Amino acid sequence: MAGQRGAVNVVWKPWGGGQTQYLTCPITEKFAEGNRGGGKTELALVDFSQFVGQFGSAWRGVIFRREYKHLEDVAFKAKRLFRQVFPEAKFNSSKSDYKYVWPTGEELLFRVGKKTEDYWNYHGHEFPFVHFEELTNWPDDGFYEAMKSCNRGSVEGMPRIFSSNANPFGAGHGWVKKRFIDIGPPKTVAVDDEGLQRVRIHVDLKDNKALLDNDPNYVKRLAGIKNDHLRKAWSDGNWDIVVGGFLQGIWDRDVHVVKPFAIPHDWPRWRCMDWGSARPYSIGWYTKSPEGVIYRYRELYGDGGEPNVGTRENASQVAKRVLQVEAQERKAKIVFRRNPADSSIWNDDGRIITVERLFSDENVRWVKAQKGPGSRVSGAQVVIDYLTARTFKVFDTCQHFIRTVPVLMPDPDNWEDIDTDMEDHVWDEVRYSLTSRHRGPQIKQANSEPKPGTFDHLLKITAKTKRKSTYRMD
């Protein structure tokens, strides 16, 4: 990019690698990821500006951040770049009109969108260019998906760009990773059910030669970060690290995830539920060993196919599914006792029959989970205590637990609780379970038989029945 045709002063240019791949990518939905310092924000600005002067006022774009204070940094970088390349363009700095305007009619808006409902501020608008800065700041994909309806243009030959970028961090780490990282290596093209394509492009610090030349110690500063998780995320762009996660330094997959094993019949078993319909419900099955280790050995999750979207099944349907997955255990006369559930299922909310009643009618019974002032924070501490003591473990078949719980972030207003805007349904269910009380089976002691001739021996040989586990019917 130069200020005028034929000028030798180069303001900005791609340095090959991910930068060039990003700017020449023909796929509408593209995601730039990598380590810090790769120049991802400048790429988005250049991506819009490379079409300025071709389509006039039809070329209109919007760049989103979730918080206004973060939007100011994007605007600052835009002014630093555009004042050199497009000195005739004007920047309107009022919050109500925060945008760049070109004499040829193009506009690039800088806007905040915090939640899905904010889409209605843009309903009916036409933006052939839509970009999300730091996509992992959004806890779910609601606003992101809604804005796709505005990504359109009526001029023949005009591109449509629906782009985003992020580092491995933030409340939306889970859904962004699932959408763009888990599909395969960089440049892997995924196709959805409608035939629409998406791709992720890795933009590396080594591609940003301007930064490396002007600040050669930047790499050393990244390498010198003391926090191992933070260093791997920011220096290496490692998406398997959750920076600042609520369970950071506590959760260890190698310790807390185990292979399934046959559960002895005399171990107590119970289930727990966090109810949801439009949002996912989460039901987990638990058991406790004689050593006091609690295992979450099965799950049933109301996954609607998209992050944090439920199946909208009614309670009777879900109850029937519970009976199906418990069929073999029930046949073996195993009983699930003291099964905590979100107390909201007892609310009538104007219904003739409560959610709890619908479950009960199908012979699936619950007790109220411990809830009340301070229960979220105290429950979170109980979960942390179990994980720290290594007395709570999860079968590796519980994929929704593994997908959602380790990536939960702290509530920005209360660091003793998790961010409830995230997909926290499994977390709540686990919290209900671990704060309920269930005794494990007794460990048989060697040489514990009473000696002949003692009173205890007399009681033993004259007893008519043997005590049985409260978790079995026979």
Give CA 75 to chain center in angstroms. 28
- CATH ID of 253-434, from 3.90.660.10, 3.30.420.280, 1.10.10.970, 3.40.47.10: 3.30.420.280
Q: What is the DSSP letter of 121?
A: G
User: Taking the alpha carbons of 379, 385, 386, 387 in that order, is the dihedral positive or negative?
Assistant: positive
Residue-level pLDDT at 421: 83
Taking the CB of residue 228, how many other CB atoms lie within 10 A of it? 10
C-alpha–C-alpha distance, residues 218 and 407, integer Å: 28
Residue 11: C-alpha distances to residues 3, 4, 18 (Å):
7, 11, 19
> In this predicted structure, what is the pLDDT of residue 442?
72
pLDDT tens digits for 289-304?
999 999 999 999 999 9
Class of residue 64 by CB neighbours under 10 A (exposed 0-12, middle 13-18, buried 19+): buried
Instruction: Give me 141's structure tokens.
Output: 């994909």
Name the residue ranges covered by the structural domains of the chain.
Answer: 17-236, 253-434
pLDDT of residue 399: 95
User: What tokens were used for 310?
Assistant: 């439920």
CATH top-level class of 17-236: alpha beta
DSSP string, 136-153: GGSSSSHHHHHGGGG---
Average pLDDT, 10 consecutive residues per value, the chain (474 residues): 54 82 96 84 94 96 91 92 94 90 96 93 96 92 95 93 89 88 94 94 78 68 66 73 76 96 96 95 97 97 90 96 97 95 87 90 95 88 95 97 91 81 94 90 66 67 56 54
Q: Are 180 and 198 in contact (CB under 8 A)?
A: yes
Residue 308's identity, in one-letter code, is N
Q: What is the pLDDT of residue 94?
A: 87
d(CA 100, CA 97): 9
**315-335: string of b/e by CB count within 10 Å (b at 16+)?**
beebbeebeeebeebeeeebe
- Return the structure tokens found at 117: 């409902």
Strand partners, 101: 90, 107
The answer to pTM > 0.75 is no
Give the pLDDT score at 11.
78
pLDDT in the model for residue 101: 97
Cα–Cα distances (Å) from 289 to 267, 298, 322, 390, 393, in that order, read 6, 16, 23, 13, 11
Domains 17-236 and 253-434 share a fold: no
Kindly report each contact of residues 46-49 with a partner whose C-beta sits within 8 Å and lies 24 or more positions away, as own/partner. Answer: 46/1, 46/12, 46/14, 46/81, 47/22, 47/23, 47/129, 47/131, 47/161, 47/163, 48/108, 48/129, 48/131, 48/161, 49/1, 49/81, 49/82, 49/85, 49/86, 49/108
Quick check: 206 and 172 in contact, CB under 8 A? Answer: no
Per residue in 247-299, pLDDT (tens digit) is 988 999 999 999 999 999 999 999 999 999 999 999 999 999 999 999 999 99
